C-alpha cells in the first residue's frame, strides 16, 4: 500500500514538474520566436534599404523613405500611435503644457495663401494689430509662397524674446504692411471662459487637460465662490479632446474624498497597470455639479464625465461621448524623435471601458468596427444605477443636435463667413457685447447679396452627387430611358434654389456668421458668451441643478 501511494505521489509530482518544465519551455520558445521574428524583419528592412541605396535609379531621400515606412507601420495599429520627429518637439510641449514661443495666432491655408485665422487675445499677434484675414507674405524676409501651414508655423516660432518681422497683405489695403515685434512664451489658459449664471450657478468651459487644467479650474471655482457664493457648477467639456489623465483625476479630487479611485489602466506591460486615486482632500465637497459633453468629448474628458457618473457625484448632460478609452505615452526614440504609443486601456470607477472602436480586430478591408450592442456589458454606479461600456459615456440626460447639413454648412466650407467677417470688421470699429449682438435685417440682406452677387455662391449637395452616380449606373443597366421622366422630376427637386435656401435657413446662417464676426472683436471668449444665451444643453443642466428633487432622483439618492 505504501509503495502504491508513494508511486502515485511520485508520478503525480513528476507530472507537475514536467508540466512546469514544458510550460517554461513553451514560454521560452514563444519568447525566442518573438525576438527571432523581430530580428529577422529588422534584418530584412536593413537589407532592402541597403540594396536601394546601392542600385536604385534615382537619388533617395532617406529620412522621407524611412519616415514613410514608420508611418505605414504605425497606421496599421490605431490612429493615436504615431511617430513624432524632432521638429515636432514644440508640438509635444504644446500638447502637454499648452506652451510654446511664438506670436500667438492660428493660421490656415486659403486660396493658396497662408492666412491668419485667429489671433489670441493679449498675445503678440493681437497686441501688434495682426488681424484675422491678414495674408502672411514673408516671415523674416523669407517668402511663404508654396509653404505648408506646418512650415510657416515653424517660421513663426522661435525663442522667447527674439524679433520676428512679418510682411502681410491686408484686404482692401493698397500696399503690404510690415510688422516687427518680439516673440513671447505663449501660454494658453485651458479655461476659455467662466461666469456666474442665475445667481448661484457657476459655469466654466474647459478646453483641454494640459498640465495647468486642474489649477486653473480650482482658481475659477474659488473666484466664483468668493465673488458670487455659487452653490452649483456647470463644467463644460464639450469638444474637449482630452489630455493628461492626472489633470482629470486632480479635478475630480476637488469634489470627492482623498484616495478615491477615479480611473485605472490595464495594458500588456506591468508598467501600464495603474490605479489613479484623488491626491488631496476635497475643496468643494458639497457643490452640485452638471457636466456638459458632446460627441467630440474624448479621452480625459470621458474620464472626468465617467467618474462623475460612476461615483454618482454629478449629472452628465449632452450627447454620447466619442469613445476613446485608450491611453498614450510619449517615449523618446533617439535623435530628438519620439513615438506616442497606445500602451493601455482605461477603466472608470465602475470597471467599464468606454472605448468604442476595436482596432485590434480589423475587418478584411482594414476598416474598424464599433463594439456591437450585443457585446456591451452592464456595470453599476455607487448608488446602483446601470451604466454600460463600449460606446463612450451615455449622459444621464441625453440631448441631440437636430441641425442638418444644409446650405449653412456649404457657406462655412467655402470660407464665406470668414471673408465677410473680415470686411465687416474693417467697416465697423466696434459692436455690441456678445450677449447683445444681433445682425440687423439690412446686414443679413447685405450678406445674402455678398454671397450671390460678389461670390457667385453655389453648391452641390451630397444628394446631387449620389444622383449623378445613380444616372451613370442607370445608363450601364439600360434604365436611364425607361425611368427618364422620373429621373428628370427627381433632378428638379434636388437642384437647390440657392437664395430661397439661404433665407429659409436664416437662423443657423445668422448664428454662424455672428460667431465669426464676434470673434474679431472679443476673441476666444466672445463666441462662448454669444452661444450660451441659446444653449439647449446648458438650459437643461440649469433646470436640473435648480430642481433638487430631479437632481437627486437622477443620481438615485435616497
Terminal Cα-to-Cα distance of the chain (whole angstroms)? 66
Please, are residues 263 and 229 in contact by the beta-carbon 8 Å criterion? no
Cα–Cα distance between 170 and 366 in angstroms, integer? 46
Report how far apart, in Å, the C-alpha atoms of 165 and of each of 127, 132, 175, 177, 183 are. 15, 18, 16, 11, 10
Please, are residues 379 and 350 in contact by the beta-carbon 8 Å criterion? yes
How, if at all, do strands 201-206 and 232-236 pair?
A: parallel
Q: Does an H or E element contain 397, and which?
A: strand 397-398
Q: What is the torsion angle, in degrees rounded to the nearest 10, for the CA atoms of residue 287, residue 208, residue 260 and residue 215?
A: -70
Cα–Cα distance between 289 and 378 in angstroms, integer? 24
Q: Which residues are catalytic?
A: 299, 310, 324
CA 14, distance to chain mean position in Å, is 58
Report how far apart, in Å, the C-alpha atoms of 63 and of each of 48, 55, 71, 221, 233 are. 15, 18, 12, 49, 51
Q: Does an H or E element contain 404, and which?
A: none
Cα–Cα distance between 466 and 464 in angstroms, integer? 5
Amino acid at each position: 500500500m505504501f509503495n502504491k501511494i508513494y508511486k502515485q505521489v511520485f508520478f503525480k509530482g513528476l507530472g507537475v514538474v514536467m508540466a512546469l518544465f514544458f510550460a517554461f519551455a513553451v514560454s521560452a520558445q514563444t519568447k525566442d520566436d518573438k525576438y527571432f521574428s523581430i530580428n529577422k524583419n529588422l534584418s530584412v528592412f536593413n537589407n532592402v534599404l541597403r540594396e536601394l541605396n546601392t542600385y536604385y535609379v534615382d537619388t533617395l531621400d532617406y529620412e522621407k523613405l524611412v519616415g514613410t515606412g514608420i508611418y505605414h507601420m504605425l497606421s496599421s495599429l490605431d490612429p493615436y500611435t504615431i511617430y513624432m520627429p524632432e521638429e515636432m518637439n514644440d508640438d509635444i510641449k504644446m500638447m502637454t503644457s499648452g506652451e510654446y514661443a511664438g506670436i500667438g495666432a492660428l493660421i490656415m491655408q486659403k486660396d493658396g495663401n497662408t492666412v491668419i485665422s485667429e489671433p489670441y487675445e493679449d498675445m503678440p499677434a493681437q497686441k501688434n494689430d495682426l488681424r484675422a484675414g491678414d495674408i502672411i507674405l514673408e516671415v523674416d524676409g523669407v517668402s511663404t509662397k508654396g509653404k505648408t501651414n506646418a512650415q510657416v508655423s515653424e517660421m513663426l516660432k522661435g525663442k522667447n524674446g527674439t524679433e520676428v518681422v512679418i510682411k502681410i497683405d491686408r484686404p482692401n489695403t493698397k500696399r503690404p504692411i510690415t510688422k516687427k515685434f518680439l516673440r513671447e512664451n505663449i501660454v494658453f489658459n485651458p479655461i476659455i471662459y467662466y461666469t456666474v449664471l442665475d445667481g448661484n450657478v457657476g459655469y466654466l468651459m474647459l478646453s483641454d487637460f494640459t498640465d495647468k487644467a486642474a489649477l486653473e479650474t480650482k482658481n475659477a471655482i474659488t473666484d466664483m465662490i468668493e465673488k458670487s457664493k455659487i452653490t452649483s457648477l456647470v463644467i463644460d467639456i464639450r469638444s474637449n479632446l482630452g489630455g493628461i489623465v492626472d489633470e482629470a483625476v486632480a479635478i475630480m479630487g476637488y469634489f470627492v474624498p482623498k484616495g478615491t479611485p477615479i480611473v485605472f489602466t490595464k495594458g500588456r506591460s506591468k508598467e501600464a497597470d495603474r490605479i489613479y486615486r484623488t491626491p488631496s482632500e476635497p475643496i468643494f465637497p458639497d457643490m452640485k455639479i452638471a457636466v456638459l459633453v458632446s460627441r467630440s468629448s474624448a479621452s480625459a474628458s470621458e474620464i472626468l464625465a465617467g467618474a462623475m457618473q460612476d461615483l454618482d457625484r454629478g449629472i452628465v448632460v449632452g450627447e454620447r461621448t466619442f469613445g476613446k478609452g485608450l491611453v498614450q505615452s510619449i517615449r523618446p526614440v533617439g535623435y530628438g524623435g519620439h513615438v506616442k504609443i497606445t500602451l493601455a486601456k482605461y477603466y472608470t470607477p465602475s470597471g467599464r471601458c468606454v472605448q468604442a472602436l476595436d482596432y485590434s480586430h480589423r475587418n478584411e478591408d482594414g476598416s474598424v468596427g464599433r463594439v456591437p450592442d450585443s457585446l456591451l456589458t452592464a456595470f453599476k454606479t455607487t448608488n446602483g444605477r446601470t451604466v454600460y461600456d463600449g460606446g463612450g459615456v451615455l449622459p444621464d440626460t441625453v440631448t441631440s443636435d437636430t441641425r442638418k447639413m444644409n446650405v449653412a454648412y456649404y457657406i462655412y466650407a467655402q470660407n464665406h463667413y470668414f471673408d465677410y467677417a473680415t470686411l465687416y470688421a474693417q467697416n465697423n470699429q466696434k459692436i455690441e457685447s456678445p450677449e447683445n449682438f444681433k445682425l440687423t435685417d439690412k446686414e443679413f440682406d447685405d450678406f445674402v447679396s455678398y454671397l450671390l452677387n460678389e461670390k457667385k455662391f453655389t453648391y452641390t449637395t451630397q444628394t446631387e452627387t449620389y444622383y449623378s452616380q445613380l444616372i451613370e449606373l442607370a445608363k450601364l443597366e439600360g434604365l436611364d430611358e425607361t425611368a427618364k421622366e422620373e429621373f428628370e422630376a427627381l433632378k428638379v427637386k434636388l437642384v437647390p434654389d440657392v437664395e430661397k435656401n439661404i433665407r429659409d435657413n436664416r437662423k443657423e446662417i445668422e448664428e454662424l456668421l455672428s460667431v465669426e464676426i464676434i470673434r474679431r472683436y472679443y476673441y476666444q471668449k466672445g463666441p462662448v458668451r454669444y452661444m450660451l444665451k441659446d444653449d439647449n444643453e446648458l438650459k437643461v443642466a440649469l433646470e436640473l441643478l435648480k430642481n433638487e428633487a430631479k437632481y437627486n432622483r437622477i443620481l438615485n439618492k435616497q
